[in-house]
Each structure stands twice: as C-alpha cells, then as structure tokens.
C-alpha cells in the first residue's frame, strides 16, 4: 500500500517544498541581481550587498537588533533558568498549571502580545507621570523624569518577556531528567546548596541552557510584530526597518538584507537542532 | 563493636500529616554492619535520609557520638552515602567523581600554629587517596572513563569509593545492589562485606531483600509501617521471629493458630506438640511458626499430623510441596518426592517449633493457599524500586 502512494506522496512533498521555499529562493536570487528590477534578471552582482553596508539606517538597526537580542537572551537565560529550578522544586499539583500559564505566551498570537505590552507600557507611563509630578512636588532633592516614552528600554523588556518561556521549556526537561539524588550526593560530599548548584546542577543542565539561549536569540533576531508595538519611534530593529523600506519604493537592498537575516536565522536554527539531536543520541546511549 | 556511635531517640516523621515513622528508637555501634530491612514504604529509606541529614525529622533526636545532630547539614556530618542508582556525576570522570569530596574539603593548615587557616587538601594527597580507593574497588586504569562508560557493577563500586575516600565514620547504603542482576548482586554482597571489614567503619544498609540482609549484617532491624518490628542478629531474626510479620518476611514460614497448653507444650489441630518455648500464660492463644525445612515426612501412621499433597515444585536442591492440613496449606521442603494427591504424615522436632505471642499481624500470613501468586508477588517486589516517602510527588 505504501508503494502505491509513493509517487503521489513525492509530488505532494515537492509541492509543499516549492510553496514553502520558492519565494525565499526567489528573494535570494534577486538579491544578487544587477539593476533595480525585482522581476527581470540582469546579471550577477554584489552591488546591493555593498550598498547595504553603507546604509546608515540599516546598519543602525542591525546594531539595535543584535544588542537587544544579545541582552534579552542573557537576561532571559538567567531569569528562565532560575524559574525552571523553581518549577522543578514545586509540587506537581502546583507546577503543572503554572507550566500551562508559562506556555500560553508562546502559543499566543504575537500581535496580541505586542499590543498588550504596548498598552501596558502606556498605562505604566501615565501612572509614572502622575507619581513623578507628585514626588517632585513634595521634595526637591531628586528630580524624577515626568515623561517616559517607549524606546530601547521597552523593546528590551518585551524581548525578555517573550524569551523567558523558551528558556524554561528548554531547561525544565533537563532538570527532570537529572537524577534527583545528584544534589543530595553533592551535599553529602561536602557541598553547600549553592556549591551543589554550581558544581553539579549547572553542568548537568548546561545543554538545556545553551539550547534555550540559542532559541531565544533566534526568536529575538527575527521578531517583528512584538518589536513593532513596543519599540516606539526612537528604536528600530532590522525587521522593522525592512518593513519600513517596503512602504516606500521597493529597493533590492531589501532582498539583500532579508537574505542575510534568513541565513542568520537558518544557521542558528541548524545549530539548535544539531545540538538537540546530538544530546538525544547521547541520552539514548546512556540508557 | 562495643561503642555506641549513633542513637535515634523517639524519632517520628510525617509528610503532610501522613505518618511515615512512628517513634523509632535504635542505637548503632561503631564498626557495626546494620541493615534496615522491610517492604517498600516501611520507612527504612526515610530513616536513612534522616541519619544522612537530607530529611529533618518531625520530632525526636538523632545523636552522633552523644551529640545531637538534628540541625547539622549533610555536608558537615562525618557520614557519607551510597545512593540508589549510584548518583554519580555524569559530567565528571571516575577520578574526579571519587576526588569530588576531597576537593570540597578544607582543613586546618599544619604549617599554621594557630590552626585557624583553612587549606585545601594538596593535589598530591588527593591523587594518592583516589588511587588507593581505585585499588580497593579493583578499578585501577578506569580513572579517565565517564560513568556512563561503566557497567552497573563498576558504577556501584565507584559510588562506594566516592563515599569511602572521605574516610567517614559511617557509610549509608540505600538499596545499593537493587539495580544489579542476581549473579553480580551475590558477588557484590561478599565484596561489600570485605570492604567493610577492610576499612573498619559502620555500615548502615537499607534493603528489602531478606537474603541480602541475612548474608551481610551483624544486626538486622526489621521495619514495617513506620515501626521497628524486631532488632537482632540474623540468627535471632530467623530462628526467633517476634511476630507473624517478621516470620513471614524473613524466609518461608508456616504460621498456625495454636494454644500454649503450658511451658514446652503447644496445641495445634487439637493435638499436642512438645516444644522448647515458655513464658506464656497457660492456655494462651499463640502463633506457631514452623519453617518448611524443619518438617520430616513420615508415613501417615507415624505422623503427628496427616495431610494431602496438593502441589509439587522441583527446586533443584529440594522439592517445595504444598500440603493441605484440614484446609490450611503448609509449605514443606523435602528431598523426598511425594506425588500430588498422596496422603503423608509429618513429624516436627521440638526445636523446629517456634511460638510467638499474638500480634496485629496474626492471621495475615503463613498460609500457602495462594502459593503460586505469592511467588509472583515476591518477583515483583524485587523489581520495583523503593519509590516511597518522597512526599513531593503526591
């Protein structure tokens, strides 16, 4: 029965891949096109890539993207790892509902997360303004800023927020796979709880931490929707800049920068997957 | 083996109002091999974890060398533990696993006259002591292997070395042989006893395997439902069980309702049997234990009792036969072959009869009516690990 279907299966598979990857392939091909057309091939050139690196707006947004991704990943990795350990120490009856709550932001539509964060920041700024005016009125030693606006700070907070669940999801299973007695064993051999944490727990869950951090970094790099609603007007990530450029005349620079973004994310995802496959093999060989 | 080292006084433990230990009183001597023996959930692992310092008792005291250590954390106790499933550190090789405790240690500097300065153990000494341990556990040449490249028995020995290298006064072992196959388990029993005698320290051993306990221990503590049922030498426990639970848990026993007519005379099935027990009230109802190997098969006319063979199992060295005596089924081990359905008589020597006071366990054990099922249960018990008394996964 399997054999009968195999030709049909292959065609179907091919169609799926064409629909998935033909547009991206087209984008990559035209990023090397000489001339400004995005439908007629005029010969190979690296012009658009060259121009890209002289475009100050794009370079600025690349810098913003990398910085926000990097900082958000580091902070989320710390927070998420400790949160995962907290979950691990909880009783199952408490842990499971909380894990569901943790998973909701990942399933949630980005636009809902983005808009709700945006509303939250605005509400907070209003409250802060009232508070700062009152505070500046009753004393004159510290002058609190009255007007806060969205920018790099809110962008970073938003990225940390949506990254933490990925870290927890990646570290949690590593903790549960760990032999519970390892912590007892470390304490038995002279470690305080903190020493046991650094010398035994961290090395055991390190693969999970690294995988989680890589996933979080990937998510940050290619996020558009949430950034769009939380970056305000002063900060712009690469994805936002590309979107902004498409509103005006479509420049083939978009093809070039999109290609670079695609390849970066692809490489990161490949690293995550290879790591996971390798760990799975290692675990299988241990059993 | 005279000096008292550890004492548990009125120890109680409950997880979420669920009592796990009831008033445990126990002392453990220096250089003693003591075994906590009991079925899953009897509280033996909890007792061990309290001695190790991983669990704080709800009430009662733990004394070490006469000092109360209830609140001393595990890393400051002169006690080390061999955990169930070994708990070796997977990211460290054999050498570093064994050296772990030594690298954590700080001791006063011999060069500092005030003795205040704390220094690490020098690398040369660590090297020496780890190699010495590898020698004891016969794993020289394995120091660079990771734990997952070792067999179960080898991991087991590394776990023992990792604990012993710290020169503890007491070694706690939590079902250390549970994950090994039968042959290896037998070898390791002898190996463990040898190591204990070689290093000359106290071993406190937790197991549900009665044979393991009988083979290795100086003292056995039989536990059930959070209480100590009996403390004694292996011979005491086997020959003079205190109640039906102990008699049934240690070895095979036929436990029959009886009546103590007077000292040295017990009545079963309306017949009187001479025995060697005394100290009961006249005509007191008692439980009578008769071990399957203490029963002689004779002709019906010569027998004190007569019954019908209902089941025969060949065991290699002997036959296990089930004999029906007026509805109560006995297990008898014999080298004679008796076919199913045969009428046989039995004779029991006075020293083959052991009389116990009635207890809450009376009537629960000792009948072999469900012979085959009971054997299945025993097999299950040896496979299932002791997932008791953690409390957090309820």
Number of domain units in chain A: 1
Q: How many CB atoms lie within 10 A of CB A261?
A: 17
- Number of folded domains that form chain B: 2
What pLDDT score does B371 carry?
Answer: 55
A148: left (phi over 0), alpha (psi -120 to 50) or beta: beta
Q: How far apart are CA B204 and CA A79, in angstroms?
A: 41
Same domain, B76 and B173: yes
From the list B52, B105, B148, the residue facing A190 with the nearest CB is: B105
Considering only CB atoms, B87 lies closest to which of A92, A182, A285, namely A182
Query: Do B260 and B138 share a structural domain?
Result: no
Give the domain extent around A162.
Answer: 54-286
- Please list the ranges in chain A whose pLDDT falls under 70: 1-5, 38, 250, 285-287
Q: What is chain A's alpha carbon radius of gyration, rounded to the nearest angstrom? A: 24
* Contact yes or no for B74 and A285 at CB 8 A: no
Q: Do B219 and B305 belong to one domain?
A: no
Among all residues of chain B, which has the CA nearest to that of A201?
Answer: B89
* Same domain membership, residue B318 and residue B203: no
Contact B83 A91 (CB under 8 A): no
**Do B109 and B219 lie in a common domain?**
yes
User: What are the phi and psi torsion angles at B212 (to 5°)?
Assistant: -60, -45
Give long-range contacts, CB 8 A cutoff, 24+ apart: A5-14: none
Residue B361 exposure: Cα atoms within 13 Å on the Cβ side: 20
Claim to verify: residue B100 and residue B173 sit in the same structural domain: yes
CA distance A29 to chain B (A): 46
pLDDT tens, residue by residue, A111-121? 999 999 999 99
DSSP secondary structure of A50-74: HHHHH-HHHHHHHHHHHHHHHHHHH
- Residue A179 belongs to a domain: yes
B-chain CB neighbours of A186 within 8 Å are: 89, 100
Residues in contact with B175: Cβ distance below 8 Å, sequence separation at least 6, in sequence order: B45, B84, B206, B207, B208, B385, B386
* Burial (Cβ within 10 Å: 0-12, 13-18, ≥19) of residue B66: exposed
Query: Does any CB of chain B come closer than 8 Å to the CB of residue A184?
Result: yes
pLDDT at B381: 43
Q: How many CA atoms within 13 Å lie on the side-chain side of A4?
A: 1
Nearest by CB to A187, from B74, B91, B162: name it: B74
- With respect to residue B224, please indicate whether it lies within any of the assigned structural domains: yes
DSSP category for residue A45:
-
Question: Nearest-5° angle of CA A70, CA A73, CA A77?
Answer: 145
Q: Which domain holds residue B361?
A: 253-391
Q: Whole-prediction pTM value?
A: 0.75
Residue B266 lies inside a defined structural domain of this protein: yes
Strands B319-325 and B305-314: antiparallel
CA angle B221, B226, B230 (to 5 degrees): 30
Q: Has residue A6 been placed in a domain?
A: no
The tokens describing A64, both together, are: 């913003």
Task: Report the candidate in A113, A102, A225 with the shortest Cα–Cα distance to residue A167.
Answer: A102
List the structure tokens of B68. Answer: 């109360």
Give CA–CA dist B305/B322, Å, rounded.
14
* Cα–Cα distance measured from residue B49 to residue B36, given in angstroms and rounded to the nearest whole number: 12
CATH number of the domain where residue A119 is located: 1.10.3720.10
- Picking from B79, B83, B166, the nearest residue to A185 by CB comes out as B83
User: Residue A84 CB: number of other CB atoms within 10 A?
Assistant: 27
Look at residue B15 and tell me if it is in a domain. Answer: yes
Instruction: Measure A192 CA to nearest chain B CA, in Å.
Output: 7
- Mean pLDDT per 10-residue section of chain B, whose length is 394 residues: 82 86 90 91 90 90 90 88 89 92 83 73 90 86 88 88 90 86 84 87 91 90 91 91 88 87 86 84 88 88 87 87 86 86 88 87 73 46 40 37
**B151 with B279, same domain?**
no
Is ipTM strictly over 0.85? no
Q: How far apart are the C-alpha atoms of B296 and B336, rounded to whole Å?
A: 10
Give, rounded to a whole angstrom, the gap between the first and last alpha carbons of chain A: 35
**B70 in Cβ contact with B56 (< 8 Å):** yes
Q: Are residues B230 and B268 in the same domain?
A: no
Calpha distance B326→A210 (Å, rounded) = 71
């Amino acid at each position: 029965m399997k054999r009968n279907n195999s030709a049909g299966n292959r065609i179907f598979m091919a169609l799926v891949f064409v629909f998935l990857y033909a547009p991206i392939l087209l984008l990559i091909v035209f990023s090397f096109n000489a001339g400004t057309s995005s439908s007629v091939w005029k010969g190979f050139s690296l012009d658009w890539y060259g121009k890209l690196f002289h475009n100050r707006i794009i370079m600025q947004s690349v810098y913003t993207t990398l910085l926000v991704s990097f900082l958000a990943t580091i902070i989320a990795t710390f927070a998420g790892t400790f949160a995962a350990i907290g979950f691990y120490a909880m009783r199952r009856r408490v842990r499971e509902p909380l894990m569901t709550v943790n998973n909701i932001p990942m399933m949630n539509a980005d636009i809902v997360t983005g808009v709700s964060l945006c509303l939250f920041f605005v509400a907070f700024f209003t409250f802060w303004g009232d508070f700062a005016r009152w505070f500046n009125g009753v004393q004159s030693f510290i002058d609190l800023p009255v007007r806060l606006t969205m920018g790099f700070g809110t962008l970073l907070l938003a990225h940390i927020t949506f990254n933490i669940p990925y870290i927890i999801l990646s570290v949690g299973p590593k903790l549960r796979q760990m032999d519970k007695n390892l912590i007892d064993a470390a304490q038995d051999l002279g470690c305080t709880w903190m020493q046991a944490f650094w010398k035994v727990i961290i090395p055991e869950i390190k693969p999970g931490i690294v995988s989680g951090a890589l996933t979080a970094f990937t998510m940050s790099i290619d996020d558009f929707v949430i950034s769009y609603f939380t970056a305000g007007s002063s900060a712009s990530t690469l994805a936002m800049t590309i979107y902004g450029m498409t509103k005006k005349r479509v420049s083939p620079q978009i093809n070039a920068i999109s290609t670079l973004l695609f390849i970066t994310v692809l490489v990161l995802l490949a690293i995550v997957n290879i790591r996971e496959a390798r760990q799975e093999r290692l675990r299988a060989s241990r059993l | 083996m005279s000096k008292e080292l550890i004492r548990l006084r009125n120890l109680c433990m409950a997880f979420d109002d669920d009592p796990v230990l009831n008033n445990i009183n126990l002392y453990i001597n220096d250089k003693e091999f003591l075994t906590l023996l009991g079925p899953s959930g009897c509280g033996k692992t909890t007792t061990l974890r309290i001695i190790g310092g991983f669990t704080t008792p709800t009430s009662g005291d733990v004394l070490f060398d006469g000092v109360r250590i209830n609140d001393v954390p595990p890393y400051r106790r002169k006690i080390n533990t061999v955990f169930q499933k070994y708990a070796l550190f997977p990211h460290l090789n054999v050498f570093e696993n064994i050296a772990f405790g030594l690298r954590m240690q700080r001791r006063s500097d011999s060069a500092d006259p005030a003795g205040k300065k704390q220094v690490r153990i020098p690398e040369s000494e660590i090297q020496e002591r780890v190699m010495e341990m590898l020698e004891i556990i016969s794993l020289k040449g394995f120091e660079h292997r990771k734990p997952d490249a070792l067999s179960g028995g080898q991991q087991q020995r590394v776990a023992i070395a990792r604990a012993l290298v710290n020169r503890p006064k007491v070694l706690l072992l939590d079902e250390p042989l549970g994950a090994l196959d039968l042959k290896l388990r037998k070898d390791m029993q002898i190996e463990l006893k040898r190591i204990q005698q070689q290093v000359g320290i106290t071993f406190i051993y937790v197991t549900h395997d009665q044979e393991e306990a009988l083979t290795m221990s100086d003292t056995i503590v039989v536990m059930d439902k959070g209480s100590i049922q009996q403390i004694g030498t292996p011979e005491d426990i086997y020959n003079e069980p205190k109640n039906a639970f102990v008699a049934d848990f240690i070895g095979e026993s036929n436990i029959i309702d009886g009546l103590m007519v007077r000292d040295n005379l017990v009545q079963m099935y309306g017949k009187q049997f001479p025995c060697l027990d005394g100290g009961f009230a006249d005509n007191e109802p008692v439980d009578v234990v008769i071990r399957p190997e203490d029963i002689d098969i004779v002709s019906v006319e010569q027998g004190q009792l007569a019954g019908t063979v209902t089941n025969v199992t060949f065991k290699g060295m002997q036959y296990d036969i089930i004999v029906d005596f007026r509805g109560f089924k006995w297990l008898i081990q014999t080298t004679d072959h008796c076919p199913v359905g045969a009428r046989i008589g039995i004779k029991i020597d006075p020293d083959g009869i052991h009389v116990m006071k009635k207890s809450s366990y009376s009537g629960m054990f000792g009948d072999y009516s469900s012979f085959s099922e009971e054997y299945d249960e025993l097999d299950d018990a040896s496979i299932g690990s002791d997932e008791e008394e953690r409390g957090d996964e309820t």
